[in-house]
Amino acid sequence: MHQRCSNAKNIRFEHYGGKNVRVCPEWQSFEGFLQDMGQRPPGTTLGRFGDRGDYEPGNCAWQSSEEQAKHGSTNGRARLTEEQVLCAIALYKPKARRGCSLKNMAAELGVSFCTLDYAVRGVTWRQIA
C-alpha cells in the first residue's frame, strides 16, 4: 500500500500514487493501521470501496479477490467474462504442443497474461474453475 502510493519506481505506482491516491497520516505507522483495520482475515486483502479515494478509515475494508473484482477498477484492463474464462480453460493445455498459449489468448482477449493465468489456474474465478 505504502510503496504503490509513494514510490514512483513501484510497478503499480501509476495506478495509485500516479493517480493521487494517498495513505492517511494515521496509517503511516502499522500500529495506527492495525488499530483501525484489525488483523487481516484469511483469504482477504485490503481494498478501497469502489477503488476510489485514499487509503483511510471508512474507505477501506478487508475484501476477498471476488469482492475486489466485482467492485473494483480494472485500471484500464478489460475484464474477463465467465464465458471467456471457460473457453480459456478448455483451450489451454500446459506444457503441451497442442492447445493455445495463454500469452496469445490474453492478447486476443485484451487482458494481461497474469489476469488470464490467474483465471485459468483458479486463483480468481474459483467458482467456475
- Cell 495463454 locates to 102
pLDDT in tens, the chain (129 residues): 999 999 999 888 988 999 999 999 999 999 999 999 999 999 888 988 877 789 999 999 998 877 776 655 544 445 778 888 888 888 877 665 566 788 888 888 877 788 888 888 877 766 654
Task: Please say whether the beta carbons of 75 and 114 come within 8 A.
Answer: no
What pLDDT digit, counting tens, does each position of 95-108 carry? 655 667 888 888 88
Q: What is the pTM of this model?
A: 0.56
From the list 120, 119, 124, the residue with the least C-alpha distance to 93 is 120
* Alpha carbon distance 20, 3 (integer Å): 13
Q: What cell was used for 111?
A: 487482458
SS3 73: coil
* Alpha carbon distance 52, 58 (integer Å): 12
What pLDDT digit, counting tens, does each position of 108-129 carry? 887 778 888 888 887 776 665 4
- Angle among Cα 69, 70, 72 to the nearest 5 degrees reads 65
